[in-house]
Amino acid sequence: MNHRFHTTAKRAALSMAALPLAISFSAHSYAQTPAQYAEATTELAALDPIVVTAALAPRTANESLSSVSVLEESTFRRQDPTSLTDLLRGQPGVDVTSNGSFGKSSSVYLRGAPSDASVLMIDGIRLRSATAGGAAFQYLDPRMFDRAEIVRGPRGSLYGADAVGGVIQLFTPEGDEEGRNQAFQWAAVPSIPSG
């Protein structure tokens, strides 16, 4: 019995003696240079993007506790859709119907809710049709946007009773320091000399 106690005590003493060495080794192995830290942060942001639509505040997709899909600019460019409904068609929980080709009325259903029970926002501004009830997805060119957030599920407490199916928010590229957006190039109208 006494022999067993001494063996256990020796193991405990040896473990306690090795603990500072193990801690210093593990701390040294996790030390990162600023470049390594920036790279790890970028990778983490790609895995868990920041969303604002789900909670009306910047949160990671996991912190928002909502079913969220984020479409980045690379997805827009890689798929090169002809309409916004083509881009939304492949997303989970999203069904799209259209009554013809480009320009014909299209409906987007989030989680099976009617199209007028889903909210479409562009840069935080709600878009709705005055006649059809739902948003006019058919007229939106996907080249105008560089990011989309799709929040599936009821968001009535944040966006009102018409957000039962969910919310789709589209983001346009930011402008330069003078407020001009490079994605939209307006043609200059030459002035006509008077007289």
By the 8 A CB rule, do 148 and 168 touch?
A: yes
Three-state secondary-structure class, residue 143: helix
In a domain, 32, yes or no: no
pLDDT tens-digit map of 148-164: 999 988 887 888 888 88
In a domain, 193, yes or no: no
In a domain, 20, yes or no: no
Q: Residue 138 carries which DSSP code?
A: G
Q: How many CB atoms lie within 10 A of CB 185?
A: 8
Q: What is the rounded average pLDDT for all residues in the chain?
A: 75
What is the number of domains present in the chain?
1
Instruction: Give me the domain span that covers residue 56.
Output: 47-171
By the 8 A CB rule, do 102 and 82 touch?
A: yes
pLDDT tens-digit map of 92-126: 999 999 888 777 888 899 988 888 888 999 998 99
Give me the phi and psi of 4, to 5 degrees please.
-65, -40
In a domain, 141, yes or no: yes
Mark out the alpha helices in the chain (DSSP H runs).
Answer: 2-30, 34-47, 73-79, 84-88, 156-159
Q: How confident is the model at residue 168 (pLDDT cuts 50, 70, 90)?
A: very high
In a domain, 4, yes or no: no
In a domain, 28, yes or no: no
In a domain, 15, yes or no: no
Q: Residue 51 contacts by C-beta under 8 Å, 6 or more apart in sequence?
A: 58, 59, 60, 61, 64, 68, 70, 149, 151
pTM: 0.66
pLDDT tens-digit map of 13-57: 555 555 555 555 444 445 567 666 666 555 555 567 888 877 877
**CATH number of the domain within which 142 lies:** 2.170.130.10
In a domain, 5, yes or no: no
